[in-house]
Chains A and B, each alone.
Chain A
Amino acid sequence: MATAQPWGRAAEPVSSDPPPSPGTSVEPFVFTGTTREYFGIWIVNILLTIVTLGIYSAWAKVRRLRYFYGNTHLAGSSFDYHAKPVQILIGRIIVLVVLLVYNVILNVAPPAAIVLVPLFVLATPWFIMRGLRFNARVTSFRNVRFDFHGGYGGAFRAYVLGGIVAWLSLGILAPFASRWMWRYMLVNTTYGGRPVASDPALRKLYGQWLLPAVILMATVVVLGLSALALGNALYAVYQDVRAGGNDADAIVVAILQVLTTSLLPFIVVLAVVTLIYRAGTRNVALNATVVDGRHRFRSAIHRGRFTWITVTNLLATVFSLGLARPWAAIRMSRFLAAATALEVSGSLDDYLSDLKDTGSAVGAEYMDVEGFDFGF
């Protein structure tokens, strides 16, 4: 995976979009954060979190997000993150206590799982909905806040039903899930009370699905053949056992070999094609998104580059015992910003904030703890 060449025609070419009409200007997103600066913020965050027995983690989160939002510029202005650390801290404590109680009950009284696990699954969309709303309401651009109006039903379809459908169909219906997820996130967002429209076409999502699907199929065939070869060895062992010349545990060994030679590479390939697919759907979804009926998004992530950056970021972080993480985070933000633009039609001056109470941070913290990542 030396260069991005193997996936040559990967990115949704920006040039295929209609050229901007008169009166519009293409404003690129620009990320100005530096590794040098962020390293200091990052290491002090960790140090103070340890020293304060975890309490500072809420302040750390606010400083980290303010750094990333504040360094993301569009048309000469930057974004800002307004959550109060105390809100984050309370949300974090509530989520930890809920998860603790949940796990204690599951351990102490396993039969309760029959009720608790479905309840937990049903509660997840609610947490996500409230989390997205909180995150939108604490985000501003040019003194005007975002808002989020998504309901429970849409969240359930996007995050529970979508997941079930994608997995049960072995990924064949994944584009439906992607469409539900992106639409839920984008269409329910407003900026200064003005709506966002997004209608990613299924046909285009399937276009992005094709390459990952082909790679995955090829992998299954190759690994399947090698597993078949091992299966022959397995059969020989089995006959040996029947002849009484061997014992049953040899079969276990052979099965272990099948797992390590087939399953592990499969998981790695699955992770890689997931990255390729995620980059592709982001392009499709954002390119079908219009803010306030006139400002169009443009996203042209090169899928190969995105995958390469994600994988090398992970390797660098792991082999540096985490110390390369600031570099990796800045590198990814810079890459994503550079591949994104807004076709601004008319002026960005005429938005008015309808400031609302942000509500509690519980949902947002739940998304954090459970690892939901909806960063653009």
Chain B
Amino acid sequence: MASESVRGAWFPPGSSRKVEATVARTANGDLVVVAGQAVLARAAPSEIEFSARVGSIPRRLAFPNGSLFETADNDGIDRLSGSAGAVHELERFRPRLFVFAAIVVGLCFLIYRFAVPTMVELAVAITPPVVPQLMSQGALASLDETLLAQSELPEARQTAIREGFNQLAGLSPRGADGYVLHFRKGGSIGPNAFALPDGSIVLTDELVTLAPGQDAVLGVLAHEIGHVEREHSLRQLYRAAGIAALIMLIGGDIGSGAEDILVQGSALVGLSYSRSQEAEADRSSVELMLKAGRDPAAIVGFLEIVRDRLEKTQGSDFFSTHPATQQRIEAVKTYAEELAKR
């Protein structure tokens, strides 16, 4: 009665007792498990759960009564069930697997080069303004508690800088209302200025003291305005999150060590990404200062001091988030001359 039989082992429902058996198709289409003369299980193929074929691991046939037939004869089961499954066909070792590998490498490059930036732009576009506001308030509050202290800059000096700043902010697309300038004593973060995504810009006393003049300070503030205008901090946040998610998702099985290296590596690449943001903000400082009728290359005055202080620093080119200072100075000068010619 059986057309073809496949040898394997049969287990009674829920039991580890192994019985040598064969499975075969009967005349009416049922599959029947037989050991010697005894029929151990019988069911229509539609009632049997066939495990999918993966490589050459043993195949399982779960019968409705809870018993199990197991066999290493994958081809035999494919003939009984009629197919090996489309995915298994793809996975078979054929030359086209190398084409798949090439496609995967290409896709990973495309995702990194195009899909990630597009997703970042999309996320920035749909982020409601309240998110950067909350982020900034929280960040400023915790910085005030930990690193920053009340400014000790003379009132007159603050007013002078604030006037210049309001002029610059008024000329930028967000307008003067889009910005708040905070004076703080930097303490351990020293001479510094940074922008928060809601338009709060923090300027430390130390930077004001270090800068050679009022215009150099304004050049730095124009640079920070550039960061806010281009929503750099949101972009960076989304980019880091997106890349981490992609590594987890696509990575699947690349091993925990390799995954760690990928994550750390993408942080390093993130550094170079923020370097390009710095260059962008430098250029926008030049543009804004020019518009305000001030020295477009004023930020150079500050950068030169930074350069002289870091003169002996080796390797800052690689690890720093700011492009090597000399390069920045030259880029700013060139761009200022370029704009002046127009």
State whether these chains interact: yes
A residues apposed to B, CB below 8 Å:
32-34, 36-50, 54, 57, 59-61, 63-64, 66-67, 69-71, 77-78, 80, 96, 103, 107-111, 141-144, 192, 247, 249-250, 252-253, 256, 310, 313-314, 317-318, 321-323, 325, 328-329, 348-355, 369, 371, 373
Nearest CB of B to A117, in Å: 14
Q: Which of B232-283 contact A (CB under 8 A)?
A: 237, 241, 245, 248-250, 252-259, 261
Q: How far is the CA of A107 from the CA of B241 in the complex (A)?
A: 12
B315 within 8 A of A: yes
Contact of A77 (CB < 8 Å), options: B15, B18, B250, B311: B18
B171 within 8 A of A: no
Chain B residues whose CB sits within 8 angstroms of the CB of A42 once the complex forms: 252-253
Docked-complex contact A310 and B15, CB < 8 angstroms: no
Docked-complex contact B237 and A107, CB < 8 angstroms: yes
Docked-complex contact B310 and A314, CB < 8 angstroms: no
Stretch at the interface among B89-97, B201-209, B214-222: B89-97
Docked-complex contact A46 and B252, CB < 8 angstroms: yes
- With contacts A350-B17, A353-B14 taken as known, whether A54 is within 8 angstroms of B249 at the C-beta atoms is yes
Q: How far is the CA of A329 from the CA of B254 in the complex (A)?
A: 8
Docked-complex contact B250 and A46, CB < 8 angstroms: yes
Chain B residues whose CB sits within 8 angstroms of the CB of A371 once the complex forms: 256, 259
Chain A residues whose CB sits within 8 angstroms of the CB of B253 once the complex forms: 42, 45, 64, 325, 329
Q: How far is the CA of A12 from the CA of B256 in the complex (A)?
A: 26
Q: How far is the CA of A317 from the CA of B261 in the complex (A)?
A: 11
Chain B residues whose CB sits within 8 angstroms of the CB of A50 once the complex forms: 104, 107-108, 111, 250
- With contacts A253-B314, A322-B258 taken as known, whether A70 is within 8 angstroms of B57 at the C-beta atoms is yes
- With contacts A70-B54, A77-B18, A253-B314 taken as known, whether A317 is within 8 angstroms of B250 at the C-beta atoms is no
B339 within 8 A of A: no
Given A63-B54, A371-B259, 12 more contacts at CB 8 Å? A36-B93, A38-B55, A43-B97, A43-B100, A44-B91, A57-B252, A63-B52, A63-B87, A111-B142, A144-B15, A350-B17, A371-B256
- With contacts A36-B93, A50-B104 taken as known, whether A41 is within 8 angstroms of B17 at the C-beta atoms is no
Stretch at the interface among B28-36, B131-139, B294-302: B131-139
Q: How far is the CA of A354 from the CA of B51 in the complex (A)?
A: 21
CB closest chain-B residue, reference A254: B312
Docked-complex contact B310 and A249, CB < 8 angstroms: yes
Docked-complex contact A318 and B249, CB < 8 angstroms: no
- With contacts A111-B141, A192-B16 taken as known, whether A253 is within 8 angstroms of B261 at the C-beta atoms is no
Nearest CB of A to B224, in Å: 20
Chain A residues whose CB sits within 8 angstroms of the CB of B241 once the complex forms: 103
Q: What's the tally of chain B residues with a CB closer than 8 Å to chain A?
A: 60
- With contacts A46-B250, A49-B250, A371-B256 taken as known, whether A250 is within 8 angstroms of B97 at the C-beta atoms is no
Contact of A313 (CB < 8 Å), options: B55, B134, B255: B255
Chain B residues whose CB sits within 8 angstroms of the CB of A109 once the complex forms: 134, 138
B103 within 8 A of A: yes
B188 within 8 A of A: no
Q: How far is the CA of A371 from the CA of B244 in the complex (A)?
A: 13
- Write 12 A-B pairs (CB below 8 A) sorted by A numbering: A64-B252, A66-B54, A77-B9, A111-B141, A141-B16, A143-B68, A314-B261, A317-B258, A318-B261, A329-B253, A351-B15, A353-B14
B11 within 8 A of A: yes
- With contacts A63-B52, A253-B314, A328-B255 taken as known, whether A39 is within 8 angstroms of B93 at the C-beta atoms is yes
Contact of B93 (CB < 8 Å), options: A37, A325, A350: A37
- With contacts A47-B103, A50-B107 taken as known, whether A108 is within 8 angstroms of B92 at the C-beta atoms is no
CB closest chain-B residue, reference A37: B55
Q: How far is the CA of A250 from the CA of B256 in the complex (A)?
A: 38
Chain A residues whose CB sits within 8 angstroms of the CB of B156 once the complex forms: none
Nearest CB of B to A365, in Å: 11
CB closest chain-A residue, reference B261: A318
Q: Which 7 interchain pairs have the tightest Cβ spacing?
A: A70-B57, A143-B11, A40-B91, A353-B14, A351-B16, A142-B16, A37-B55
Contact of A57 (CB < 8 Å), options: B101, B249, B315: B249
Docked-complex contact A321 and B252, CB < 8 angstroms: no
Q: Which of B106-125 contact A (CB under 8 A)?
A: 107-108, 111
Nearest CB of A to B58, in Å: 5
Q: How far is the CA of A150 from the CA of B3 in the complex (A)?
A: 50
B56 within 8 A of A: yes
Docked-complex contact A352 and B14, CB < 8 angstroms: yes
